[in-house]
Structure 1
Amino acid sequence: MISLLALSCVLLLSLSFPQKQVAAAGTSVKGFYVSGSTLYDATGSPFVMRGINHAHTWYKNDLATAIPAIAATGSNVVRIALSSGSKWSIDSMADVQKILALCDQYKLIAMLEVHDATGSDNTSDLNAAVNYWISIKDALIGKEDRVIVNIANEWFGSWSTATWASGYQSAISSLRDAGIKNTLVVDSAGWGQYPTSVFTSGNAVFNSDPLHNTIFSIHMYEYAGGTAATVKSNIDSALAIGVPVIIGEFGYKHTGGDVDEATIMSYSQQKGVGWLAWSWYGNGGGVEYLDLANGPAGSLSEWGKSVVNGSYGTMATSVLNKIYTTTGYVPVPDNGANPSPTATPTPTATPTPTATVAPTATPSTAPGNLMLYYRAGETNVTDNQIKPHFNIKNNGTSAVNLSGLKIRYYFTKEGSPSLNCAIDWAQLGAVNLTTSFGSLNTTNTDSYLEIAFTSGAGSIPAGGQTGDIQLLIYKSDWSNFNEANDYSFDATKNAFSSWNHVTLFQNGSLVSGIEP
């Protein structure tokens, strides 16, 4: 976006052309590359971005909370706003390394961008961004398969092309000469909303890259994405010249008018185009309505629900990068150098510790495959309903039949009335779920809800997920519960998070969580 203030936002359009092995600024390494209208990952598989923008540089202390929460939306990429120090507090190389390690842990591809040059027509501001990347290049080299560099957010605010093109030709040459081989992203002119700059001069900019590994970015707000016809025309025009298109930013409205976000998401799905919504939280200057969440791990706004849970949202359409789901994947060393020590993801997807300490050090997930996410659908601990929400994610390399899975949620029922469960909503379809109750006599638990799946639920593909499963537990007399002492309840988890006090069983064996 044009910053957290009232600046115009951008549409990211990813432009790439057939990959060539060339020798100028170094030989290509194993990482992202482009061919025709498709962006490929390091396994040679098409990669369609589904993700969220995060304004990290203004909220540096929220990193450990925000990244797991963004990962829980099903996103496969996060675009991180950084500062070169020109306008805001600099994000040092150590800071960037920490960001990348956390993204890697949560299997998120990191697209990094420098925000200081936003809207500027001065080549010196673009050069400052280039110098910043060169100063932290040791954090980027060796991570070409999981880090993408968006050179400068919305540099060149004017709606013209010549200076924009020449500026980026020079910038790309400098980055490649410095040994940075990551896929590069170039925002279009006009605060990112003038895609004509890409249509007319994109080839010249692309051909300045000796690795032929540059893509272009359009940000879709009121000008580049205001109507269905505009959205489709911009996407089609980019694809027509042989470029893979990604929508690097978009909202549902903006300062100058409405945005057709429904067409952005549906037409992108139809065309195999990636997108990243703006932005996780923290917007100001009159565009607070673009917050997807109410805080770093807050509940989703209506805008957030559309992006995450909509028919074409992240839960329904995002697929993990295959480097995280391909058994035995190892990055190819760069010119004989050893791969980065963080290149291989950590063996479990266990997030940072939550406010409630797990009773033992047993990991909350089985190494490798299934992850159960939980959030509290409501946080009133003494009302007459319990509303747990779940999502199961398959981090393995093959599909998992849902009929072999069962979820358990543990609580105390307070009294003798019989228990009932309603399925408020399930992306899989309520008809494909069954619920039942069981009894236990242990810590903070005398009852549990068990959720099972019929054969009609199908399977979770590799890298896929079930999407939202939203439940409501109530008593036959609608008397109150006391959730404060319930084993599975956690009021702090109002965005999907891994939580080891809910359990997932596969064919009768515990694969996620800790039983009470």
Structure 2
Amino acid sequence: MKKRLRMAGAAIIPLFALLLSMLVAAQPANAAVGLHVSGRNIVEANGSNLILRGVSLPHAWYTGQTASSLAGIKSLGANSVRIVLSGGRWPANGASDVANVIAQCKANRLICILENHDTTGYGEQSGAVTLDAAVDYWISVKSALAGQEDYVVLNIGNEPYGNNNVSGWTQATSSAISRLRGNGFQHLIMVDAPNWGQDWQFVMRDNAAAVAAADSQRNTVFSIHMYGVFDTAAEINAYLGAFQTAGLPLVIGEFGDNHSDGNPDEDTIMSQAQSRGVGYLGWSWSGNGGGVEYLDMVTNFNASALTSWGQRIFNGANGIRQTAKEATIFGGGNPSDTTAPTTPGTPAASGVTSSGATLTWTASTDSGGSGLAGYNVYREQGATDPQLGQTATNSITLTGLSASTQYQVYVRARDGAGNLSGNSSLVTFTTTAGGGGGGCSVTATAQSQWGNGYVVQPVTVTNTGTSPVTSWTVTFTLPSGHTVVGSWGASLTTSGQTVTARNASYNGSLGAKASTTFGFQGERPSGNTSVPSGYTCTAS
């Protein structure tokens, strides 16, 4: 079977219309625009090869985490992100939401793969919808997608069949593609395999050519999900080899380093994807629940808190950092540029307060021809928030730090081709003791509850003092047997049954009498109806 996510949240997405550039030579009437298939490869409008290297982000259930997560995913080297959306099986992501997500992907220089999750397990899982219904959703948000063909891939429906009646996949997928084209969609289309994405009955493999031919623009890429079915090198090589021999485009649209249905061979998956020029998108950034929390790449959506799976996919052999090339439309992707930028100068800390500091350093230079794309800041000690990926600069103001805490920071540069500089020398500074600002109060509401879980939101933090504060901390007690499985608007840590919630970087500063909110999701033993209590607040 497949992973399940514990859900909380609604939706969003982006856009702005772009006119297509005039083509140098006349093209066939049905020629694809923007991202498109060329033989076995995905290429950009200018013909540059694009090998997807990224992860899935559960936007539909954690909309409040999307902005910071996209920045974190980019800072770890990805060139693409697969965004989970819903047309109504969960709170629907409408056109304005989709437009916003696309805009955020573009701002972070990430190719945006949008997928409708409502189809997951159709025929086997209650509530799943057909691919035809998924197309209805795409038509409903078409205004957000028009003109985004250079930046967006449409993954029609996630894992559109479970293990029942999978022979229907071929006609249903072909019809969905035809409907999209008939409604004017010119985007690169991605289609998932049946059998919960793993195609163990080989329906997609054996019918891919027919489905590709059903696309009037010949602009469809196939997506295989590799979990327990792909636990040996032989199985992985045979499947990838079949598409390579057929000359058909394939991506590994999901995979993990562990799963309840078997132990995927992620080392072979990643090495063979690299050697064969096949894209891969790991599952998933954060927010997994229902027993598959081990598939989280980071803890609590925090890019500086990589799990073992996150370390493997981002920093391991054939991982994202090592192999991803930024799309040329964002200024990257120069495969001939292998020259790393120079190492930035040692940062100097100034303006240190109880909750922040300003760092400046001598900027890096780049002689490889791609241009500097940004830098990363790493918190070495006392860190609670993520690495920061920003546009090229030689200064940054850090916020949301803890009072009376020592921090060690270094910076490194990344150029447009994805090459990373060496680490600068560390700068060490200690935040001041703080004080002065005033007190705070906290109230909490259990918004919804079910048998073994609940969502608490809003947790409202109010500055009760007469002067501004720059940070706050809330503590509360979990009843015995309870665990926190997700949070938004704050960074949560647990010690025994005591939970400490610290403000996020964007909501720590509160004027006198001002308020902000956060929320979290908990799990509890079956039959237990209690919720957390004993909320207290401090601010500085």
Q: Structure 1 length as normaliser, TM-score?
A: 0.65
| Partner Cα distance (1:219, 1:450) in 2 | 37
The question of whether the paired residues in 2 share the 8 Å contact of 1:407 and 1:450 is answered with no
Indicate conservation of the 8 Å contact 2:77/2:321, yes or no: yes
Report the counterpart of residue 57 of structure 2 in structure 1: 54
Matched AA of 1:75: A
1:121, distance to aligned residue in structure 2 (A) = 3.0
1:114 equivalent among 113, 116, 120: 116
CA distance in 1: counterparts of 2:27 and 2:377, whole angstroms: 45
Residue number among 216, 238, 241 corresponding to 1:236 in the alignment:
241
The equivalent of 1:105 in structure 2 is 107
> Shift in Å at residue 237 of structure 1?
1.1
Whether 1:248 and 2:202 are equivalent positions in the alignment is: no
2:358–2:395 CA contact under 8 A, matched in 1: no
Equivalent residue letter for 1:94:
S
> Counterpart amino acid of 1:74?
G
The reply to whether residue 482 of structure 1 matches residue 430 of structure 2 is: yes
Residue 176 of structure 2 aligns to a residue in which SS?
helix
After superposition, the CA RMSD in angstroms is 4.1
CA–CA distance in 2 between the matches of 1:149 and 1:214? 10
* Residue pair 2:166, 2:194 contacting (<8 A) in 1 also: yes
Q: CA contact under 8 A between 2:372 and 2:415: conserved in structure 1?
A: no
CA distance in 2, matches of 1:389, 1:129: 35
Q: Could you say what secondary structure the match of 1:253 adopts?
A: coil
Instruction: Write the distance in 2 (CA, Å) between the matches of 1:136 and 1:408.
Output: 37
Deviates most, 145-154 or 302-311: 302-311
- Cα separation, 2, equivalents of 1:284 and 1:50: 24
Counterpart check, 1:173 vs 2:178: yes
Q: Is the 8 A contact 1:160 1:197 kept in 2?
A: no
Matched ranges for 1:88-487 at <5 A? 88-121=90-123, 125-158=130-163, 161-194=166-199, 196-223=202-229, 225-298=230-303, 299-325=305-331, 369-379=372-382, 462-466=416-420, 469=423, 482-484=430-432
Greater per-residue strand proportion:
2
Kindly provide the CA deviation profile for residues 14-53 of structure 1, in whole angstroms up to 9, marking residues without a partner as x: xxxxxx9654xx5532x11112221111221110011010
8 Å CA contact 2:227–2:259 kept in 1: the answer is yes
1:188-224 CA-to-partner distances (Å, cap 9, x unmatched) read 110110162222111111111100001111000001x
Question: What CA distance in whole angstroms lies between the structure 2 residues aligned with 1:357 and 1:208?
Answer: 57
Superposed displacement of residue 68, structure 1: 0.8
Which of 19, 28, 50 is residue 32 of structure 2 equivalent to? 28
Give 1:238 deviation, angstroms. 1.3
Q: CA deviation at 1:378?
A: 2.6
Q: Secondary structure of 1:113's partner?
A: strand
2:39 is equivalent to residue 40 of structure 1:
no
Q: Which residue of 2 aligns with 1:4?
A: 5
How many residues align? The count is 382
Equivalent pair of 1:117/1:125 in contact (CA under 8 Å): yes
* TM-score normalized with structure 2 length: 0.63
Q: Deviations over 1:465-507 (max 9, x none)?
A: 3178497678xxxxxx734589xxx99999xxxx9xxxxxxxx
Alignment CA distance shift 1:35-1:69 (3 Å)? same
CA 409–124 in structure 1, closer or farther in 2 if over 3 Å, else same: closer
Distance in 2 (CA, whole Å) between partners of 1:118 and 1:371 is: 37
Q: After superposition, give the CA deviation of every residue in 1:369-410 in whole Å (9 maximum; x if it has no partner).
A: 3411112133179xxxxxx99899998xxxxxxxxx999999
* Residues 22 and 175 of structure 1: CA distance in aligned 2, closer, same or farther (over 3 Å): farther
Q: Does the aligned pair in 1 maintain the 2:380–2:408 contact within 8 Å?
A: no
Give the conservation status (yes or no) of the 8 Å contact 1:112–1:147.
Answer: yes
> Structure 2 CA distance, aligned partners of 1:138 and 1:379?
45
Q: Distance in 2 between matches of 1:126 and 1:389?
A: 37
Q: Is the Cα–Cα contact under 8 Å of residues 409 and 448 in structure 1 kept in the other structure? A: no
Query: Does the C-alpha gap of structure 1 residues 79 and 406 become closer, same or farther in structure 2, counting only changes over 3 Å?
Result: closer
Unaligned residue ranges in structure 2 (runs of 5+):
8-25, 334-353, 366-370, 399-403, 435-470, 474-489, 493-504, 506-540
Distance in 2 separating the partners of 1:311 and 1:473? 29
Change (3 A) 1:484 1:296: farther
Q: CA separation in 2, counterparts of 1:283 and 1:32?
A: 30
Is residue 163–residue 195 contact of structure 2 (8 Å, CA) maintained in 1?
yes
Write the distance in 2 (CA, Å) between the matches of 1:470 and 1:264. Answer: 34
Deviation for aligned residue 1:266: 1.2
**8 Å contact 2:123–2:165 — kept in the other structure?**
no
Q: 2: distance between equivalents of 1:113 and 1:130?
A: 11
The residue type paired with residue 80 of structure 1 is I
Q: Which has the higher contact order (CA 8 A, sep 6+)?
A: 1
Given that residues 55 and 81 in structure 1 are in contact (C-alpha distance below 8 angstroms), is that contact kept between their aligned partners in structure 2?
Answer: yes
Amino acid in the other structure paired with 1:378: Q
Distance in 2, matches of 1:380 and 1:90, equals 35
Report the 3-state secondary structure (helix = DSSP H, G, I; strand = E; otherwise coil) of the residue aligned with 1:258. coil
Aligned residue identity for 1:204: A
Whichever residue aligns with residue 181 of structure 2, its letter is: R
**CA 1:212/1:380 → structure 2, altered by over 3 Å: closer, same or farther?**
closer
User: Aligned residue for 2:69?
Assistant: 66
Structure 2 CA distance for partners of 1:391 and 1:103, relative to 1, 3 Å? closer
CA contact 2:80–2:111 (8 Å) conserved in 1: yes
Give deviations 1:274-313, integer Å, cap 9, x for gaps: 1011101000110000000112234111110111111211
**Kindly tell me: are residues 365 and 53 of structure 1, through their superposed partners in 2, closer, same or farther at Cα, counting changes over 3 Å?**
farther
**Residue 320 of structure 1: SS of its match in structure 2?**
coil
Aligned residue for 1:216, secondary structure, equals strand
Q: Report the 3-state secondary structure (helix = DSSP H, G, I; strand = E; otherwise coil) of the residue aligned with 1:257.
A: coil
Task: Mark the runs of 5 or more structure 1 residues left unpaired by the alignment.
Answer: 7-19, 328-354, 382-387, 396-404, 411-443, 453-458, 475-480, 500-516
- Which residue pairs with 1:505 in the alignment? none
Poorly superposed stretches of 4+, deviation over 6 Å: 355-360, 388-395, 405-410, 447-452, 470-474, 490-494
- Please give the secondary structure, in 1, of the residue aligned with 2:289: coil
Q: 1:326 to 1:242 in 2, by over 3 A?
A: same
Residues 160, 193 of structure 1: alpha-carbon distance in 2 compared, 3 angstrom cutoff:
farther
